[in-house]
Structure 1
Amino acid sequence: AAHYILSKIYMPLLQTVGPPTQVPIQEVLLDAVQAANTAVFEDDPEVDSGTTLTIALVLGRRLHVAHVGDSRLYLLANDKLEQISMDHSLVQRLQDVGTLTAEEATMYRYRNVLLRAVGQGEEVEVDTYMRLLPRQGKLLLCSDGLCGFVPDETIKQVMEQDASLPQIVDELYETALAAHSNDNVTAVVVDFSL
């Protein structure tokens, strides 16, 4: 599903590269995600499946984000790891209303239940964000196979290492496996200096 969605999002985004356009970036991101959602849903509307999606587009110092599901986007800057995206999951909702603690959520029986996913219906509700980035830092886009099994403090420690980006990604992957992750472990780390 991930490759299929990427093919449906990449072309609309690529079409925005070039001369300045009057279409706001957030609208372009929303349209791309909706196009991917429609393609996945129409592929087999009888199958109750979906996938998560997090897009981070850096233009100058502006970070534009489109997000659906429980994959995450983190920002590491000024000695602080900040979760930028909000999980669209049952456990997050239960934490928000005070029914579950963060610790209980890691062991909750229905922790993989998504409230929003690409391909679950004809339309998808997409969170979009825009924020200014600090002068330097790192972005981490990752699946819940990493962030659902490795504490944020450990992720921060790995990302702060004086190592190449591939080495950091490998270390995050190995850390997730050592934590007995039983889910897809995907991580992309972007180092920026603006």
Structure 2
Amino acid sequence: MAETTTTTRSVTVAQRRLLLSWAGVTDQGRRRDNNQDAFLADFPLFIVADGMGGHAGGEIASQSTVSRLQAVVSDGPVTRPAIETALERAVGDIADHPETTDEGTGTTLTGVFLDLAVEEPQWVALNIGDSRVYLLRDDRLIQVTTDHSVVQELIAAGKLSPEEAEGHPYSNVITRAVGASELTAPDYITIDVRAGDRFVICSDGLTKELTDYGIQHFLRENATPGPAVDAMLAAALENGGRDNVTLIIVQVDDPEHSSSTITDTVE
């Protein structure tokens, strides 16, 4: 099994001390001969990218995008304009790479960041493509992002039911991506910061194998991110592992009611 690492940080958000803990993992799956997924879990940015386009092209696209976003974290602060500048540079990197000759080369991009550059810090979810962000709040699982896919557009237009979408021949066709052909800005969703919240950020390699109910089940059964990530990955592989599987879980705790060990502190 791929290696999972867990990190915990103490953060002051709107004069409240909170613990953020997270874990991430990526796995090739059982049917693919390479891994075109990439992820970044580096406070305050947590991102999953699912590449596409040829044997090497998808891997180049996802890694190029994650690399540019890692530079945003290093340079700081992480803001929407900084992210969009990084994506513009990633598009150039993908277009200029000698192995990305396929016009379909690109990557999805989804995740969350804690926006500390505003008066009232808040989570911002962002999305391009059909990777997803979920939020478990008050024991209820919510899909935060909306897929940019042909199937989702048909559902929104009332031409397809969610049940029919599962076996639709265009289920893998996305309508937006970070790629060599054009710059696409993400959708942004702002979310208030609450103790007890748990985010799941994942490629469709997870959601092809686990239903929303399954994701919620493993969150309920595992109190911390590391074991939850491992359990979801194991279940996705056991259910077929038809695609690369990548996921990050980010958890927000009140330190007065948590047994987590603080490994770093950010004010």
* Normalised TM-score (structure 2): 0.65
Counterpart of 2:105, as a letter, is S
- Greater strand share, 1 or 2? 2
Tell me by how many angstroms 1:45 deviates: 5.4
Tell me by how many angstroms 1:120 deviates: 4.6
Whole-Å Cα distance in 2 between the matches of residues 178 and 170 of structure 1?
12
Which residue, 152, 155, 163 being the options, matches 1:92? 152
Which residue, 53, 56, 67 being the options, matches 2:127? 67
Whole-Å Cα distance in 2 between the matches of residues 11 and 174 of structure 1?
31
RMSD (CA atoms): 2.0
1:32 correspondence with 2:80: no
Tell me by how many angstroms 1:31 deviates: 1.9
Say which one has the larger Rg.
2
Gaps of 5+ in 2: 1-58, 255-267
> What does residue 20 of structure 1 align with?
none
Tell me by how many angstroms 1:13 deviates: 3.3
> What does residue 52 of structure 1 align with?
108
Gaps of 5+ in 1: 18-23
1:18-44 per-position Cα deviation (integer Å, ceiling 9, x unaligned): xxxxxx822222222222223223323
Q: Judging changes above 3 Å, is the alpha-carbon distance between structure 1 residues 66 and 30 closer, same or farther for their aligned structure 2 residues? A: farther
> What does residue 113 of structure 1 align with?
173
* Mapped contact 1:13–1:28 kept (Cα < 8 A): no
Deviating above 3 A after TM superposition, structure 1's stretches of 4 or more consecutive aligned residues are 44-47
Tell me by how many angstroms 1:163 deviates: 4.1
> What does residue 250 of structure 2 align with?
190
Instruction: Give the SS at the match of 2:178.
Output: coil
Tell me by how many angstroms 1:173 deviates: 1.2
Whole-Å Cα distance in 1 between the matches of residues 136 and 69 of structure 2?
26
Give aligned pairs, total. 188
* Normalised TM-score (structure 1): 0.87
Whole-Å Cα distance in 1 between the matches of residues 212 and 113 of structure 2?
23
Whole-Å Cα distance in 1 between the matches of residues 224 and 82 of structure 2?
32
Q: Judging changes above 3 Å, is the alpha-carbon distance between structure 1 residues 158 and 58 closer, same or farther for their aligned structure 2 residues? A: same
- Greater helix share, 1 or 2? 1
Whole-Å Cα distance in 2 between the matches of residues 37 and 128 of structure 1?
19
